[in-house]
Amino acid sequence: MSMLKKAENRVAYGKVGIYGEAGSGKTRTAVEIAIGLYKAAGCTKPVAFFDTEPAASYMIPFFQKAGIEFLVYDQSRALKDLMAFVDEAEKECSIVIVDSITHVWRDAQDSYLKRINEMRAEKRQKPIYALEFHHWKPIKAAWAAFTDRFLSSRVHFIVCGRAGSVYEYQKNEESGKMELITTGTKMATEKELGYEPSLLIEMVKVRDGGKIINRALVEKDRTDTLNGHEIDYPKFESFKSHFDFLNIGGTHFESMNQRDSGEMFTLGAEDDGFGFEKKAREIVCEEIKSLFITHGLDGTSTDAKTKRNELLLEVFGTGSWTKIEDMRSEQLRKHFLTLKTKLEPPPALEDVA
């Protein structure tokens, strides 16, 4: 059967992202869009709010005035609870608001770090205080499950997040040095989520004559009717052209995660991200020990222990073997080569000649 078919509009639900600093109008704008969309789309089920701030209490009067039933879950910032909330809301509600998604992203990181340290405590290992490179794979996998639900769920979905800075290294023309500078802002959450909304809005505070204006900057509009627009005190009507494009009441696309390429790969027991990293660390640590043996520094004599400890402190910055074993493999490899050069210096040029 052919994979190709005639193109049709299979976006039946709005997927909106709103981010900004405190007081910029994120929540109010989300509520304005939700109420206007509810009426325009002819919704009949309640609006659901996953509240991490909490901020929903201040939004009750707007929904009461509009005559819309407003349901709230405000007991958690946990990713697992957000997923359960989406499951329930998809059955019972027309529109979902999550505010703030930044808290949920932080929970995913903190929860994984906590779980790692619980496991380390069981093994009588020292805790770690920051996530390492190989930890991000399972965190991002768990987050990807939410991103898929955000896109494929049969509800209009609005996520609000805090603004985070985008940093880049640039060369200072006067000093000639590379400096880290701020080049813009983004939603403070897992970076790929910022690419997913069909309508992405940055809210900013503009001071004008002693008052604050909440201004919407349309960073992305897949319908290409609002890109680059700046809108003060935005309402639903400000973004109506985006929602007019939707195939409301029609067929919405299915989850993109129903198929994968697993059958293309044949893996061994160690062929996962952590397995590779763990194996690489073990290999380098064995090479370090072998180097010490070769140079007679593996013994228990005072001289051997003193010299070995001096080298470890100089090259690795620590005399703790446990701490060395926990270093990232690429860092270990770099330090090993430095150690090898110290113990086995290359011959002088005249010796080579």
The string of pLDDT tens digits covering residues 217-264 is 999 999 999 999 999 999 999 999 999 999 998 888 887 777 777 676
Q: Which CATH class is domain 15-245?
A: alpha beta
Q: Angle 136-152/101-122 helices, nearest 10 degrees?
A: 150
Strand partners for 202: 19, 217
Q: Name the strand (E) or helix (H) holding 176.
A: none
Tokens for 338?
A: 């430095």
Looking at residue 351, its pLDDT comes to 47
pLDDT < 50 regions, the chain: 167, 349-353
Can you give the C-alpha Rg of the chain in angstroms? Answer: 27
3-class DSSP string for 281-341: HHHHHHHHHHHHHHCCCCCCCHHHHHHHHHHHHHHHCCCCHHHHHCCCHHHHHHHHHHHHH
Sign, CA torsion 281/107/145/223: negative
Angle, alpha carbons 25-29-30 (nearest 5°): 120
CB atoms within 10 A of CB 234: 22
Residues making up the chain, counted from first to last: 353
Looking at residue 169, its pLDDT comes to 55
CB atoms within 10 A of CB 212: 12
User: Do the beta carbons of residue 275 and residue 269 sit within 8 Å?
Assistant: yes
Residue 326 burial by Cβ neighbours in a 10 Å radius (0-12, 13-18, 19+): middle
Rounded-to-5 percentages of helix, strand, coil across the chain: 45, 20, 35
Domain range annotation of the chain: 15-245, 273-352
Q: Where are the alpha helices (DSSP H) in 215-270?
A: 240-245
Looking at residue 158, its pLDDT comes to 97
Tokens for 62?
A: 């707007």
Looking at residue 161, its pLDDT comes to 92
Nearest to 21 by CA among 238, 185, 168: 185
